[in-house]
Structure 1
Amino acid sequence: MTRIDAKFAELNAAGKKAFVAYVMAGDPDYDRSLEIVKGLPDAGVDIIELGLPFTDPMADGSTIQLAGQRALEAGMTLEKTLNIARELRKTDEKTPIVLMGYYNPIYSRGVETFLKEAQEAGIDGLIVVDLPPEEDVELCIPAQAAGLNFIRLATPTTDNKRLPKVLQNTSGFVYYVSITGITGAAAPEASDVAPEVARIKSATDLPVIVGFGVRTPDMAQGIAEIADGVVVGSAIVSEIAEGKPAANVLSFVKTLADGAHRA
C-alpha cells in the first residue's frame, strides 16, 4: 500500500474528502517554495502535487506556465525538485507527494535512474501529462514496479470507448479534468461534473479527484461533494505570483482545504 492508498483509506474511514494542492517546485525560488511545501500539511492539504518545471508545458495555462518560467529562471532542476521532497520527508512521513509534469526531464534523466531517485526522495506517485496509455511501457509500468502510483487524467472528451484504456494501468486515483482546455481556464460547475464522475466511478474502484478551475472554498466544497476530492492549483500559484509571504499563501490554502473538508 502506497502513502496515497493509505491516505484515501484514512479519509474514507473518517468520512472526509481529499484536498489536493498543486504548487510549482522552485516558484518563486527554491527557499520560498520549500517553505510553502513544508507548510501545506498543516494547512489541511491531504496530498501534495509538486510541479516539475519544464520549458514547454503544453497542458498548462498562463498562470502555471509563468510559475514554471520563474522556477527555471531561479535555477530549478529535477534534482532540486526531488530535494524539496527529501526535505519534506525529514519532518513528514505521511503526506503523499505526487510529482506532476512532462516526460522530457524524466527521459533525459533516464527512467531507471529517475525512478530510483524519486522513490528514495519520498515521491509516491506520478502524473505525466504527455504520456498516453499507448506508451505505458515507457514509464507507467516501470513506475508501478518501483512502487510508485501512476495517475492518469480523464477529461470530458474521454468517452466510454477510450475510458477503459485510460484506466487500465492507472493506480492511486484518477484525476478528472473538469473542463476542456488548459489549467485555470474556466470554472467547473458541479452539476456538469457529477455525471462524469459517476461514469468514471462505475468503471473503476479508484478514487476520482476533480481539478482545473477551482478557485474558492465554496467551489472546493461543491466539487468535493460530488467526487472523492478536489485539486486546486492555479489559484494557489496566483497567490505565490503576487509575492505574498508563505504564511499568507498557506492561510489561503487552509480556506480551500476547509471548504473541501466540509463536503
Structure 2
Amino acid sequence: MPTVSDCFSKLRAKGQCALIPFITAGDPDLDTTAKALEVLDQAGADIIELGVPYSDPLADGPTIQAAATRALKRGIKLEQVLQVVQSVQGKIAAPIVLFTYYNPIFYRGIEQFLDQVAAAGVKGLVVPDLPLEEAEGLLIPAKERGIEVVLLVAPTSPRERVEAIAQKSQGFIYLVSVTGVTGTRTEVASKVKDLLPNLRAVTDKPIGVGFGISQPEHAQQVKNWGADAVIVGSAFVQRLATGKPEEGLKAIAEFCQNLKSVISV
C-alpha cells in the first residue's frame, strides 16, 4: 500500500485531485466497515479516512457523532478497528488514514499506539485536538514508523500559525472549510476560495479541504478553487447507515463514483 505522500505525488503528476471519503469504523458493524473500505477503493477513493469511535468527539457534527455513539454501544474498540484495517491489506490500493482524538493515543502511550497502528497497515493519522505546540511528540515517532500525521488549518488561524502548521504537517494539510464541526451543508464556505491561495503562498504541500462538502457540485467547486484533495465525511456516513448494510454499501459506491467523476474532469 502506498504512503499518503506517494498517492499525492502520483495524482499531481497527472494533474488530478484526490478524493478522500470518511467513514466511522463499526457503524453499522465491523464486517460492513471492511466491505466499505473495499467498495470505496474500487469506486475511486484515493485515500480513505477511517474514524475511530470516540465518546467526546469535539470536531464531529451530529451525523458522525451519532455513528460513533452507535459503534460505541456495540463495544467497538481501537483493537477491533485495527483488525479491520489489517484484514484489507493487499485488497485495497488506497492508503488508510486513521481519524482519532488524542486521548486514546495518550492513554496507550504514543510509542505503543504507533506500533499498533503501523503493524495494522495504517499510513496516516488525523488528530483534530492535537495542538501544534504538542505535535512534535507524535510527529517524530510517527515518521519513524512510516506514518504521516496530517495537521489541520482552521479558517480563523493567523498567518504565522498557518505557516507553522504547514511546515510541520505530513502527507498533506487539512484545510477546515468552516469554523465549527463537520456536517453536510447546502454550500461550501466561500472563504475557502480566499484561504486556498493564502495557504498555497506559504507551502507547496498538498492541501485537502474538508468539513461541509456533501454534494458533487461542492467537490467540483473546491477542486476548481485549487484544492489537491476533497474530503467528504458526513454524507458518506449518512448513506452507509441508511437501510440494510447492502443498501448502504451500494449507496456509498455510487456517491463515491459521482464525486470522483466530477473532480476528474
So what's the TM-score if we normalise by structure 2?
Answer: 0.93
Tell me, yes or no, if the aligned pair for 1:97 and 1:125 is still in contact at 8 Å: yes
1:250 to 253, 256, 260: 253
Tell me, yes or no, if the aligned pair for 1:212 and 1:232 is still in contact at 8 Å: yes
Q: What is the alpha-carbon distance in structure 1 between the residues aligned to residue 9 and residue 184 of structure 2?
A: 32
Let me know the Cα RMSD of the aligned residues: 1.7
Q: What is the alpha-carbon distance in structure 2 between the residues aligned to residue 180 and residue 133 of structure 1?
A: 18
Tell me, yes or no, if the aligned pair for 2:175 and 2:209 is still in contact at 8 Å: yes
Q: What is the alpha-carbon distance in structure 1 between the residues aligned to residue 124 and residue 40 of structure 2?
A: 17
Q: What is the alpha-carbon distance in structure 2 between the residues aligned to residue 256 and residue 109 of structure 1?
A: 37
Structure 2 residue identity aligned to 1:86: Q
Q: What is the alpha-carbon distance in structure 2 between the residues aligned to residue 88 and residue 46 of structure 1?
A: 15
Aligned length: 261
Structure 2 residue identity aligned to 1:220: A
Instruction: Indicate the larger mover: 229-238 or 252-261.
Output: 252-261
Q: Secondary structure at the match of 1:84?
A: helix
Tell me, yes or no, if the aligned pair for 1:210 and 1:230 is still in contact at 8 Å: yes
Tell me, yes or no, if the aligned pair for 2:173 and 2:206 is still in contact at 8 Å: yes
Shift of 1:259: 2.0
1:212 corresponds in structure 2 to 211
Q: 1:137 to 1:171 in 2, by over 3 A?
A: closer
Aligned counterparts, 1:14-163, within 5 A: 14-92=14-92, 94-163=93-162
Q: 1:40 to 1:233 in 2, by over 3 A?
A: same
Shift of 1:190: 6.6
Q: Secondary structure at the match of 2:88?
A: helix
2:10 corresponds in structure 1 to 10
Tell me, yes or no, if the aligned pair for 1:26 and 1:34 is still in contact at 8 Å: no
1:259 to 238, 258, 262: 262
The Cα offsets for residues 186-225 of structure 1, whole Å up to 9 and x where unpaired, read as: 4553743122011111111110010111111111111112
Q: Secondary structure at the match of 1:182?
A: coil
Q: What is the alpha-carbon distance in structure 2 between the residues aligned to residue 185 and residue 252 of structure 1?
A: 14
Structure 2 residue identity aligned to 1:4: V
Tell me, yes or no, if the aligned pair for 1:29 and 1:70 is still in contact at 8 Å: no
Tell me, yes or no, if the aligned pair for 1:19 and 1:46 is still in contact at 8 Å: yes
Q: What is the alpha-carbon distance in structure 1 between the residues aligned to residue 187 and residue 159 of structure 2?
A: 21
So what's the TM-score if we normalise by structure 1?
Answer: 0.94
Q: 1:34 to 1:100 in 2, by over 3 A?
A: same
Shift of 1:150: 0.9
Shift of 1:138: 3.2
The Cα offsets for residues 32-82 of structure 1, whole Å up to 9 and x where unpaired, read as: 111111211111100000101100001111101001011111221101111
Structure 1 residue identity aligned to 2:251: N
Shift of 1:2: 5.9
Q: Secondary structure at the match of 1:199?
A: helix
Instruction: Indicate the larger mover: 236-245 or 196-205.
Output: 236-245
Q: What is the alpha-carbon distance in structure 2 between the residues aligned to residue 261 and residue 59 of structure 1?
A: 29
- Identity across the alignment (%): 41
Instruction: Indicate the larger mover: 106-115 or 208-217.
Output: 106-115
